[in-house]
Amino acid sequence: MGGVRQKLLAGAIVLTTVGLMATAAEGYISGKTWTAINRANRHGPFVGLVVPNTFEMVPVLNSPSFVASKTIPNLDVQGRRFRFGAIGGQNVVMVMTGLSMLNAGLATQMLLSLFRVKGIVHWGIAGNANEDLQIGDVTIPEYWAHLSLWNWQRYGDGKENELPLEAAGDYTREYGFLNFSDYTVGQGNPAMAANELNSIWYQPEEIFPASGVPEERQHAFWVRASKRYYALAAKLEGMELPACVNGTTTCLPRAPRVVRVSRGCSGNVFLDNARYRQFLRTKFECTPIEMESAAVALVAYQQGVPFLTIRSLSDLAGGGSALGNEASTFISIAAQNAVDVMLKFVPLLKEQ
Ligand SMILES: *[C@@H]1O[C@H](CO)[C@@H](O)[C@H](O)[C@H]1NC(C)=O
Ligand SMILES: *[C@@H]1O[C@H](CO)[C@@H](O)[C@H](O)[C@H]1NC(C)=O
């Protein structure tokens, strides 16, 4: 990169009149990179693998089930590394997003724009909001929503009051709210329980599907995973997963399971609060709670590409179970379980 910058700087000094081009050149893809992208695409179509962080990606790279491409093992584009290989006869391209919604959406869009991708499989660990499940269980939700886009209502207004810009169709009261006063400690006295933070209303995302009219917005709240992928995932529900770390020294109460669940929830929030976790469970039926899947889902949906998320539960968000504080002990099991399920799932896509 330093070399490129120096060349750009030299260019800018020589061609002072077109100095602006030097900055613009860093934001678009060079002809050389396009050539490499086109070459890589000869091995497509790929299953697109989207993973949040290194600790969820490294077990894949270390697995004998993943065979790195000999011709093009990886290609770096604009700060992202795309890794090529095969899993169970399926050619794959894998990208690590980094934390949270912006990174996940951006990396997924790049993946779909640059490469011939027939479907996306996303995996990782997640907080848990479903007390029927256990650390290490691997969940596969049918629907995802982004729950950190809000309209924050002014103090004094309630359910019956229209939100700002609601009439224009920008915001809605359709998906419900959280009222801070409901969580005040010592609610006995309503006057004392009132809270000036009042309420936040959950909002659907504005989307612009590739099949729609440009600049004509649509809205999406619950985004459905691919029906076909979700149905295929049923085959993994009996899969055996390890219950112990370090041989038999540290074990979960029962062996983890793979379960398809109705809903997963994402937001730009690391959730470590039991009351909000319970609210999310009651209000939205969330099981895994994390920071990327809905962004992947929203991008895949807009591009008309099938997707599925596989998320293992690393902890009961906010604590509250006997295992609640043992996330650090079992996080490696959780990450490995999500990877193992992904590695079993991808080969099932061969009938496509
Ligand atoms: C939230 O609670 C306050 C009382 O603290 C009440 O005045 C308001 O109407 C409630 N908002 C909603 C949306 O129910
Ligand atoms: C597993 O064993 C290794 C080395 O024996 C140790 O460093 C690590 O803390 C152990 N992990 C757990 C979760 O017990």
- Token pair in block for residue 115: 């490469």
Q: Residue 272 pLDDT > 50, yes or no?
A: yes
- For the record, the structure tokens of 257 come out as 């399971």
Task: Give the number of the ligand closest to the Cα of residue 194.
Answer: 1
Per-residue pLDDT, 351: 65
CA of 273 to the centre of ligand 1 (A): 22
Q: Is the CB of 250 under 6 A from ligand 2?
A: yes
Average pLDDT over residues 322-342: 81
Query: Model confidence at 319, in pLDDT bands (50, 70, 90)?
Result: confident
Please state whether beta strands 138-146 and 150-153 pair in parallel, antiparallel, or not at all (unpaired). Answer: unpaired
pLDDT value of residue 295 = 98
Peptide bond into 190 cis (omega under 30): no
Give how far Cα 304 sits from Cα of 8, 49, 118, 123, 327, Å: 38, 16, 10, 20, 36
Question: In Å, how far are 17, 60, 171, 209 from 213, measured between CA atoms?
Answer: 39, 39, 21, 8
Q: Is 116 exposed, middle or buried, given 0-12, 13-18 or 19+ CB atoms closer than 10 A? A: middle
Q: For residues 190 and 121, give the distance between their C-alpha atoms in angstroms, rounded to a whole number.
A: 48
User: What distance in Å separates the CA atoms of residue 46 and residue 302, rounded to the nearest whole number?
Assistant: 18
Rounded Cα distance between 331 and 55, Å, is 10
114 vs 109: CA distance, rounded Å: 8
Residues 201, 156: Cα–Cα separation, whole Å: 15
Structure tokens at 3: 């070399």
Confidence of residue 322 (pLDDT cuts 50, 70, 90): low
Paired residues of 315 in beta bridges: 127
Residue 329 CB less than 6 A away from ligand 2: yes
Q: What's the CA gap between 310 and 97, in Å, rounded? A: 15
Segments making up each domain of the chain, as ranges:
31-141+222-351
Helix (H), strand (E) at residue 24: helix 19-24
What is the rounded distance in angstroms from the CA atom of residue 307 to the CA atom of residue 293? 10
3-state secondary structure of 45: coil
| Distance, CA of 245 to CA of 296 (rounded, Å) | 31
Lowest mean pLDDT among 92-106, 116-130, 293-307, 324-338: 324-338
* Confidence grade of residue 8 (pLDDT, cut at 50, 70, 90): very low
Q: Which CATH entry fits the domain spanning 31-141+222-351: 3.40.960.10, 3.10.310.10, 3.40.50.280, 3.40.50.1580?
A: 3.40.50.1580
Q: Is pLDDT of 308 > 90?
A: yes
Task: Please state the separation of Cα 66 from the chain's center in Å.
Answer: 21
Q: Is the CB of 194 under 6 A from ligand 1?
A: yes
> Can you tell me which atom of ligand 1 is nearest the CA of 159?
13
Closest residue to atom 8 of ligand 1, CA basis = 158
Tell if the pTM clears 0.75, that is, is over it.
yes
